[in-house]
Amino acid sequence: MGRRRRDLPSKESRRANRAGPAARQFNRLLAPLGMRLLPVPGDGNCFFRACAVQFQILGRNHAPRDICDHMKLRQRVCDYLCENRKVYAPYLEAEALGTGCNAVVDFDGYVKKMRVDGVWAGHLEVHALSAMLESEMIIYLLDAPSYRIRHSDGPVQRVLRLAYYENQHYDAVLPTDIQHPGASTDMATSHVPSSSRIRDARSRKSRRGSARSPGMRSLPSMPSSSHETDLRLVEL
């Protein structure tokens, strides 16, 4: 389920990825949206780091301390999974069946492992963090549709943006006018690109011959449950 640090690409490989062509491609993709990459270490904690650093930088006057530290954020997400077991346990079972595994899924064992430093987060943790913090999450990919996760139709209170590299690494995505961690602003919707800006950016990419197609990528759907959060995937 989760991968430990020994399964990660080498330090040299991760450093090359963050400074290499993929990072430059991401920045070219994000620039028309007024966004840029903020690399985080590829140590198995990258998903939690990429989220926590955004709370540190963009919401430091309002964000609780336990979501500004990646290990504390990891523990909170694991607590949330346990508190909402009826929602998330069937998801693990469905995922196991999808891989041809007939073994009974040990939900408690999965969460216990996910609490450990360096274990890679998966789709389950992405959904859970978004639901727990009532945050919209936008995940950008190269040469594939991006996707957005929302848990209600109400006003957006927080937006977390991530760049995802070839199924192995997350980096944070920040507004270009936030230049360093000492900067202070609010994680509100003032930095949410309008639909027209997103369409214009895609149009420019298309005219330059980008392989990245417009649209939405679906995460594996959550199983039905009377206690399930109302999860919607909305096109960027």
d(CA 149, CA 51): 14
- Give the CATH number for residue 23: 3.90.70.80
More confident residue, 211 or 108: 108
Domains: count for the chain: 1
d(CA 26, CA 201): 13
Mean pLDDT of 33-53: 95
Which pLDDT does position 34 carry in this prediction?
A: 95
Give residues with Cβ within 8 angstroms of 152, minimum separation 6.
Answer: 134, 230
Which residue, 65, 69, 30, is CA-closest to 48? 69
Name the percent of the chain lying above pLDDT 90.
Answer: 43
pLDDT digits (tens, 9 = 90+) for 141-180: 998 889 899 887 777 778 999 999 878 899 999 999 886 5
Which pLDDT does position 151 carry in this prediction?
A: 80
The whole domain housing 111 covers 5-233
d(CA 54, CA 174): 8
Residue 84 binned pLDDT confidence (cut-offs 50, 70, 90): very high
Strand, coil or helix: 180: coil
